[in-house]
Amino acid sequence: MTLDVSKEGTVFRVTDGSDPTSLATLVLCHMKGAQRLSGEFAGTDMAQNLNRVGQRAKVSVQVGRHHLSAMAASGEPRRQWREEVAAVVVVGSCMTDLVSLTSRLPKTGETIHGHKFFIGFGGKGANQCVQAARLGAKTSMVCKVGKDSFGNDYIENLKQNDISTEFAYQTKDAATGAASIIVNDEGQNIIVIVAGANLLLNTEDLREAASVISQAKVMICQLEITPATSLEALTMAHTNGVKTLFNPAPAIADLDPQFYSLSDVFCCNESEAEILTGLTVGSPAEAGKAAAVLLERGCKAAIVTLGDKGCVLLSQAEPVPKHIPTEKVKAVDTTGAGDSFVGALAFYMAYYPNLSLEEMIRRSNFIAAVSVQAAGTQSSYPYKKDLPPTLF
């Protein structure tokens, strides 16, 4: 929406992607000293409300890339807006990882000795956000953690990764989500998660974060928060023309059909594809059949990741399965590799939209392969400076 704001014969061009009656638009008009609005807005309630803006309590608003102080009727302090709009927004989970390294995975009922233990930062949503940020994306995390030491540490971790925490909420009603992870010498793992505060992220929180979601280039969701919240986030993004990247993990067999139709890119691993489709997925050919089922359900593109076998892509534009292999590397710890892939893919979707999806996947495969060569989840994710310039 573009409108003309005039002051003493001077015309200002004001662009605001939100509702034309929004406080942000009124504020910018007031800050520029406008006394009247021209064009389609002349004589509207917006024009009549203009003079009232300066008599409201102080808040902070953003229009485009401008950070302005102004007034709001409530008198309540508001969250500060980022000076730069986030290109990649992740609505999802934060988990504290409790990691044990062992020579092998235990059998049912068995107690074994491990050789190392550490606490790290995980959760599919935050993992994906961190990887996108380390590649250079401007990112924002919409999440909920507990009002506890793990939650405090997590928010600080997001800040250290240059991720906006404007909509990183804390609650006293649940503990920060946690994941118990056991990793063997081959890098294979078993994981148990307790979602905790992640399940309390709700649609009211999303409404408060609507501005950052609606202005993103790409939004990512998963299923470590409630499906209803993820679905609402996808709906908000889709309605505003934001590219959606949905990672249905952990998978739900009877997933709401809307998840498919609201997904520009639907990305799952082989085990998730099996749960979603009922098909066996162990090879690229089988992954192609599963991707075809997912595509029939309404997504624009389906990706099935196959670990060290790479990925299979199928899209409405090119409905023939494409196997995109990855480099063979010595895996130290595969935990979070899929999230590294998704975060990298979101980065390329946001910043290199002219690349083919196949090429985006090829580059994301490479980045995920780098991540498995070090222990830990986010701690293993590479930065742009550590990667070949040809990826950028």
Question: Known catalytic residues?
Answer: 339
CA atoms of 90 and 101, how far apart (whole Å): 29
CB 357 within 8 A of CB 334: no
Angle subtended at Cα 391 by Cα 389 and Cα 392, rounded to the nearest 5 degrees:
70
Strand 2-7 with 10-15, pairing: antiparallel
Q: Is 269 annotated as a binding residue?
A: yes
Q: Is 95 annotated as a binding residue?
A: yes
Q: Is 45 annotated as a binding residue?
A: no
Phi, psi of 156 (to 5 degrees): -65, -40
Count CB atoms within 10 A of the CB of residue 320. 9
Q: CA 42 → CA 34, 38, 63, 128, distances in Å?
A: 12, 5, 20, 45
CA atoms of 4 and 112, how far apart (whole Å): 71
CA atoms of 181 and 114, how far apart (whole Å): 12
Q: Is 307 annotated as a binding residue?
A: yes
Q: Is 240 annotated as a binding residue?
A: no
Q: Is 241 annotated as a binding residue?
A: no
Q: Is 349 annotated as a binding residue?
A: no
**DSSP tag of 107:** P
Give the torsion through C-alpha atoms of 8, 14, 18, 20, to 10 deg. Answer: 40
Q: Is 148 annotated as a binding residue?
A: no
Q: Is 326 annotated as a binding residue?
A: yes
Q: Is 386 annotated as a binding residue?
A: no
Which positions ≥6 away from 37 have C-beta within 8 Å? Answer: 3, 4, 5, 6, 29, 44, 46, 47, 50
Q: Is 308 annotated as a binding residue?
A: yes
Q: Is 92 annotated as a binding residue?
A: no
Q: Is 380 annotated as a binding residue?
A: yes
Q: Is 247 annotated as a binding residue?
A: no
CA atoms of 74 and 58, how far apart (whole Å): 9
| Token output for 142 | 């919409």
Q: Is 310 annotated as a binding residue?
A: yes
Q: Is 33 annotated as a binding residue?
A: no
CA atoms of 191 and 309, how far apart (whole Å): 22
Binding positions for ATP are: 269, 305-310, 326, 338-339, 365
Binding positions are: 95-97, 123-127, 224, 269, 305-310, 326, 333, 335, 338-339, 365, 371, 374, 376, 380
Binding positions for K(+) are: 333, 335, 371, 374, 376, 380
Binding positions for substrate are: 95-97, 123-127, 224, 339
